Amino acid sequence: MTTLRVLTSHREPRATTNPYITMLTSALRRTPGVEVVTFTGRAALLGRYDVVHLHWPETITGLGGRRLAGRVVRWLLAALLLLRLTVTRTPVVRTVHNVGLPADAGPAQRLLLRWFDRLTTHRIVLNDRTECPGPVTTIPHGHYRDWYTGPRSATVPGRFQYVGLVRRYKGVEGLVEAFRAVPDADVSLEVAGAASTPELAATITGLADGDPRVTLRFAFLSDDELVSAITAAELVVLPYRFMHNSGTVLAALSLDRPVLVPDTPVNADLAAEVGPGWIHTFTDDLTADDLTRALDAARAPRAASPDLGAREWDDAGQAHLDVYRAALARTRPAGRTAEVPA
C-alpha cells in the first residue's frame, strides 16, 4: 500500500519532549506505511503531506508565549496553515488529550482552536469515556516500561509521593493539608516537580511549614530523578481536582507502584484493566483518612506488576495508521496528496 506522509503538530522530539510524543513518534516510524514529518513552519506551509495529526494544537497558536511579537507570528502561521488545510481539504486527525479549550487561551487563540476543531476529520481518544463529535477511535495511552529504565530506589516505608508539574488544578495544596492531619510520625510526603508559578510554590511552602515529614522539591525532574522518586514511594498520590487522562498514573504503574487518584469512571476502568491492588481512589476532597486507608490497602498482597498488555506501542503505531487511512478516505480520492510547490 502507498506510504502516507503525516505532518504532526510537534517538532522533532528532544530530551525534554513529553515521553508520550517521543514514544509514539518512534512507534510510527517503525510502522510500515507511514512517514512522520515533524512540525516546522516550512513543512506546514510548503511541504508535502497527506494527513495532519494534532495533539495539543494550542502549541501551534502560541499559547504560553511570553512575547506578543512571537505570539502574533504564531497566530499568522496557524491561520495560514488553516487556510491551506481548508483549500486542499487535507484530513486532520486530532488526539484529544484534554476536554475543552485551555483556560488561559486568549480570543485569537480560541478562534484558531475552534477552526482546527471544525476541520478535524477523525478524533483519537485515550479512553472510552471521552465524548467527542464525529468519527472517534480509542487508542489507549502506551505504557512507559521501555522509557523509564533508570536506577530504582529502595522503597521508603510510609512514603507518599507526588510527582509532576505542580498546577492549581492538581490539588497539591489539599494533599499537603490532608497529610499534615495524618497523626502517624513514621510516614512522609515528598512533592517533586516544577511549580507553574512562584505564588503557588509559596502557598504550598507555607502550608507545609513546621512539619518535618514534608519535603518539597520544586524543580523539573529528569527521567532518572522521576524514576528514583516514584520507586521510593509506597504510594504515589495524584490529588487532582479534575482528572481525565494522566500520563503520570501510567508512569507510576509502569514502575510497579500503586497510585491514589480521584474516583472517576476513567480510573475505575483503569483499575479493572490493570488488576487489583494498583489503583486506589478517593471522593470529593482528599482527607487524612483517605491517605491512611489507601496506604494500608497498598500494603496488601498483589501481583508483582500491573497488567499493561493493552498498551503496547507497536499496537499503537498500527492503530494510528488505520485512523490516518480512514481519515484520508473520508476527504479525498485515493492517491491525491496535499502539496504546495516549494
pLDDT in the model for residue 241: 87
Domain co-membership, 204 together with 303? yes
CATH number of the domain residue 318 falls in: 3.40.50
Residues lower than pLDDT 70 in the chain: 1, 62-66, 68, 100-105, 333-342
Residue 149 lies in a domain: no
Domain co-membership, 163 together with 247? yes
* Distance between CA atoms of residues 112 and 93, nearest Å: 16
Domain co-membership, 211 together with 326? no
Q: How many domains does the chain have?
A: 2
Domain co-membership, 31 together with 170? no
Residue 186 lies in a domain: yes
pLDDT in the model for residue 333: 55
Residue 150 lies in a domain: no
Residue 271 lies in a domain: yes
Task: Mention every residue, 6+ apart, whose C-beta is less than 8 A from residue 289.
Answer: none
Residue 163 lies in a domain: yes
| CA distances (Å), origin 130, targets 70, 169, 204, 247, 324 | 33, 19, 32, 16, 20
pLDDT in tens, 237-249: 999 988 888 899 9
Domain co-membership, 119 together with 221? no
Domain co-membership, 303 together with 172? yes
Domain co-membership, 171 together with 264? yes
Domain co-membership, 111 together with 187? no
Domain that holds residue 233: 159-308
Residue 264 lies in a domain: yes
Q: What is the 3-state secondary structure (H, E, C) of 200-259?
A: HHHHHHHHHCCCCCEEEECCCCCHHHHHHHHHHCCEEECCCCCCCCCHHHHHHHHCCCCE
CATH number of the domain residue 226 falls in: 3.40.50.2000
Domain co-membership, 168 together with 303? yes
Domain co-membership, 219 together with 281? yes
Domain co-membership, 112 together with 240? no
Does this model's pTM top 0.85? My answer is yes
- H or E stretch covering 291: helix 288-298
pLDDT in the model for residue 42: 94
* Distance between CA atoms of residues 41 and 208, nearest Å: 45
Residue 152 lies in a domain: no
Residue 151 lies in a domain: no
pLDDT in the model for residue 340: 44
Domain co-membership, 121 together with 230? no
